[in-house]
A and B are shown apart, each in its own frame.
Chain A
Amino acid sequence: MGMPEEQLGEELIKEESAPRASSRGRLVARRFLRTKQGVTGLIVLALLFVLAFAGPALTDWSYTDKDFMSFLQPPSARHWFGTSQTGQDIYAVTLRGMQKSLIIGLLVAIISTAVAAIVGSFAGYFLGWTDRMLMWVVDLLLVLPSFLIIAIMSPLFRGGNWPLFVLMLAAFMWMVTSRIMRSMTISIKEREFIAAARFMGVSAPKIIFRHVIPNLASLLIVDATINVSAAILTETSLSYFGFGVQPPDVSLGTLIADGTRSATTAPWTFFFATGLLIITVLAVNLVGDGLRDAFDPTARRPGKARS
């Protein structure tokens, strides 16, 4: 759906330079960059990624190392975030955990929202058999005990097999949103611009991707941002019980789980992990707000983006 628009935009730039008409992708990007909260969120998120992936290079300690000279020490010049009960460097461990959590959170959110959007809009647009089959799957997944299934499958996640974990988390997160999408699609389907596209000869999948989903974008974006936090928190709680990210790998979840035991006596063991988790979720929410305003031409805040 993005491609033809981009090409179209390119063509226009080439052909007519004087009153340049913007295609949607361009316009949304420009409007997004005008939203203060969106840009702030994006910068913070970018910094978090830089910190998570480039940060470990700044210290000599690796997340697998153990310093047998210092157990449960507060932050110092030697160990920036302090050390844990087993002598791990909290800085290195936290950043390692953040790498996993960021990737898991964002991937799960994107996958589950995309699945929800596609399943919901197809079911709502076609109705009939498509709808019945898809909604049957939705109902089935809704009644399955997701926690239990992931717990049983947890041995499979060992040995760097975390993408499977991501898929499992995403698989149990999209159903409610897809039901909302379905009912909203049914109502938006009655609008005249959908009829106009249909009578023009636009194919059904194209109508869904070009007209239905963008018009429900605000719901999807809000859903995706909530899903990022929900995914990170689910991962955290699964990891707390030992069913999520498997050792020797760590995530913010396992760290918080470890840290809670000594939270009152040695707050640094979990303070940094929690703080970074909060900042991440906040930044994602800000980006979501900005995107929602940029997508919605009726929103006042970002001002009128014109060429």
Chain B
Amino acid sequence: MSIAAGRAPVLEVSDLNVTFGSGTDAVRAVRGVDYSIAPGEVLGIVGESGSGKSVTSLAVMGLLPDDARVSGSVRLHGQELIGRRDKEMTRLRGKAISMVFQDPLSALTPVYTVGDQIAEAVRIHQDVSRDKAARRAVELLDLVGIPSPEQRARAFPHEFSGGMRQRAMIAMAIANDPDVIICDEPTTALDVTIQAQVLEVLKTAQTETGAGIVMITHDLGVVAGFVDRVLVMYAGRPVEKGLVDDVYYRPRMPYTMGLLGSIPRLDTGDREPLVPIEGNPPSMSALPPGCPFEPRCPLSIPECEAGEPPLIPVPGEGHSAACIRTQTIENRGLTPRDVFKAGPAGAVARGDRAGRPTVLMVDRLVKHYPLMKGAVFKRRVGTVHAVDGVSFDIREGETLGLVGESGSGKTTTLMEILRLAPPQSGRVVVLGRDTAKLGRNDRMAIRRDMQVVFQDPLASLDPRLTVQDILAEPLTTHGLEVGSRVRELLGLVGLDASFASRYPQEFSGGQRQRIGIARALALEPRLIVLDEPVSALDVSIQAGVINLLESLKIRLGLSYLFVAHDLAVVRHIAERVAVMYLGWIAEIGAVRDVYDTPAHPYTQSLLSAIPLPDPRKERERRRILLEGDLPSPADPPRGCRFHTRCPKFKSLPEAQRALCVDQEPELRPLGGDQAAACHYAERLEVV
């Protein structure tokens, strides 16, 4: 960890400023960023969207558009980079500094093979023959863990899965043995199990090249076990920096405390409330004169408005925080929970589960899509088994979390429920009514009792309607009086009644999601289906929305079907959880049982792949890494669907493996409220 100490830094950034535009519209995206990296060191830059973290790295790479004004100094091996001509920078980019982007699909050219693109990266900076470059490309693909690299090098980017594309990007980044690798949210677009794989590859890449890595992310969990030092950014400025343990265990800037407190954690006890940061980040074109965090800070005092505090040293090696109240925090030993007002504690539904009425029952639901081929004469060439026999039920006042990676069929399940039409096979019973036997009027009545909140709050609100019209729509559709209901609804979700005459575009992400929730509440439903309601939001905002959902549930006696890919969020909101894999349920049960002692090997690896925002635990954790990607749902494996990637299957003796390959496991109860679909289910603690 302290390998960095005493070595000359490879990259030094000091007083970096970036401004877009001019005059009153000028956006000061980056204001005075300082950092340095030694060879082999990993620096994490953490911040929410709009905090200037990506602009900082683009400025270092010299990739900003011409209208951006950059000042300050960026030195690579002591040589100044700012002010160099593009031609000179081109020689450094990809050789001395390389970059891994967030979206690996748009970072690769679709018309060239992956091998050619990596070979091209080699040949730009090294004088080698075509054959040698191609061989090097295969070597690199092998290094980043792509199976059968000779063949895969001849594949095109669209034939790669997301995780494999990101591996190819890393291969390209390390092709010329760079001194610094800048990773801009390299795992944000990936599923957790793939994220764990990619982080492993990045570690390999680092040991291989000995480069310094700048890891930019919004996820405090990802960086916890991976970086040596952390720089927290807010409103374009570094507000706290230091060794990872100092920042995580002894944060001294209230913003860092807020960020740490608002992350839903997998390892804290059941359903503890989250601590949201109130308000929204400031607009970068009209910053207040004082500390930019002052309007949202519970510790603010009048002096905070006087001027922006500089980074002042606090105890700990290289630890500093931009706050005038660090002394108070230090002396009183404040924790995030003391500083920020915590939300309501998770409510556990009253009474015995079996005694409460069932609001939603799904029984062996099946949804297959035909796979068609041909433009003029379409013919069926296969079947996509999107949902293949899913069963679960939700009792009144309960939240069921439906989790799974992309492609697991959770959204299809949801749409099948919401359609209220007879399913291809199996049964869906909503509020005691079988959807196969519904008449027109019955369906309308159920629509009133079952509402939905979507993932993308902007896409789910009609941009051409005002908030007033959006919230009035469910009421008028069901022939109800609008009256003052819109104002009530806005109040219920914590928004101002005067917002009614604005358009959705004028709101921030968190506010928009609150409007979406208000619309779902308009008809006083009994069941709300939530499709990834917080995954598009920043953590500090996300915590507020989760707490809102929690308190609404208690106040209005709602039941939730909560679909998410983030298991930590589900732990905070749900009582029960169902883990989906390739169209079927791998494990289902009470949150406490499933999270503490998962029994299905898939649940185990899924849980172990989720990073914890706790550096010490993270470094000691043993991960169960899954190999490869999710198989195609058009051709699911025979027998147990998970056996192709199952770590347990690999450890079994040959004789016992036959069962996994031949027979599809049924969900078997394991005592308590927990059932797993595995022939060899065995409870294991992984978090």
Q: Which residues of A contact B (CB under 8 A)?
A: 4-5, 8, 11-12, 15-16, 19-24, 27, 191-193, 195-197, 199-202, 206, 210-211, 214-215, 217, 295-298, 304, 306-307
Contact = CB atoms under 8 A, between A and B. Distances in A.
Closest A-B pairs by Cβ, 4 of them: A201-B447, A21-B468, A21-B500, A192-B460
Interface string B433-467: 00000000001100110011011100111111111
Interface in B460-509: 460-469, 472-474, 476-478, 482-484, 486-487, 497-498, 500-503, 505-506
Contacts of A4: 476
Contacts of A195: 452, 454, 460
A202 B474 CA distance: 8
8 contacts: A12-B468, A22-B468, A27-B501, A197-B462, A200-B447, A206-B477, A215-B464, A295-B464
Contact of B464 (A20, A199, A217, A306): A217
Contacts of A23: 466, 468-469
Q: Which residue, A16, A199, A206, A307, has most C-beta atoms of chain B within 10 A?
A: A199
Nearest to A295: B464
A8 B501 CA distance: 13
Contacts of B218: none
Contacts of A214: 462, 464-465
A297 B476 CA distance: 23
B418 interface: yes
Contact of B469 (A16, A24, A202): A24
A19 B497 contact: yes
Nearest to A14: B483
B447 A199 contact: yes
B190 to A, nearest CB: 23
Nearest to B506: A304
Contacts of B571: none
B670 to A, nearest CB: 35
Contacts of B486: 21
Nearest to B450: A199
Nearest to A306: B501
Given A15-B483, A196-B519, A201 B466 contact: no
A15 B500 CA distance: 14
Contacts of A16: 484, 487
A192 B444 CA distance: 20
A304 B483 CA distance: 26
A60 to B, nearest CB: 52
Contacts of A20: 501
Contact of A215 (B452, B455, B462, B501): B462
A295 B462 CA distance: 13
A262 to B, nearest CB: 51
A295 B503 CA distance: 12
A196 B464 contact: no
Given A4-B476, A196-B461, 15 more contacts: A8-B482, A11-B482, A19-B487, A19-B501, A24-B465, A24-B469, A196-B516, A199-B447, A199-B451, A199-B452, A201-B443, A201-B478, A214-B465, A215-B462, A215-B463
Interface string B404-441: 00000000000000100000000000000000000000
Contacts of A215: 462-464
Nearest to A20: B501
B477 A202 contact: yes
B498 A201 contact: no
Contacts of B418: 199
Given A297-B505, A307-B501, A21 B466 contact: yes
A307 B499 CA distance: 10
Interface residues on B, range: 35 or more
Contact of B462 (A199, A211, A217, A304): A211
Given A16-B487, A24-B469, A192-B460, A200 B454 contact: no
A297 B478 contact: no
Contacts of A21: 466-468, 486, 500-501
Contacts of A297: 463-464, 503, 505
B412 to A, nearest CB: 13
Nearest to A211: B462
Contact of A22 (B447, B456, B466, B474): B466
Given A19-B497, A196-B519, A8 B464 contact: no
A268 B466 CA distance: 52
Given A196-B519, A211-B462, A214-B464, A15 B484 contact: yes
Q: Which residue, A19, A193, A195, has most C-beta atoms of chain B within 10 A?
A: A193
A221 B216 CA distance: 45
Nearest to A304: B506
B484 A193 contact: no
A192 B465 contact: no
A83 B34 CA distance: 82
Contacts of A298: 463, 505
A6 to B, nearest CB: 12
A19 B459 CA distance: 27
Contacts of B484: 15-16
B456 A192 contact: yes
Contacts of A24: 464-466, 469
A193 B460 contact: yes
A27 B460 contact: no
Contact of B472 (A8, A193, A206): A8
Nearest to A5: B469
A64 B362 CA distance: 79
A19 B464 contact: no
A123 B685 CA distance: 55
A200 B468 contact: no
A84 B528 CA distance: 76
A250 to B, nearest CB: 42
Contacts of B505: 297-298
Contacts of B454: 192, 195-196
A27 B468 CA distance: 12
Contacts of A27: 466, 501
Contacts of B460: 192-193, 195-196
Nearest to B523: A200
Contacts of A217: 464
Given A192-B459, A196-B460, A200-B477, A19 B498 contact: yes
A193 B471 CA distance: 12
A119 to B, nearest CB: 21
A11 B473 CA distance: 15
A197 B451 CA distance: 10
A212 to B, nearest CB: 10
Contacts of A211: 462, 464-465
Contacts of B467: 21
A200 B474 contact: yes
A7 to B, nearest CB: 9
Q: Which residue, B447, B468, B505, B516, has most C-beta atoms of chain A within 10 A?
A: B468
Contacts of B468: 12, 21-23
Contacts of A202: 473, 477
A307 B486 CA distance: 16
Contacts of B462: 193, 197, 211, 214-215
Contact of B473 (A192, A197, A307): A197
A177 B117 CA distance: 42
A223 B478 CA distance: 35
A201 B441 CA distance: 10
Nearest to B467: A21
Nearest to B531: A192
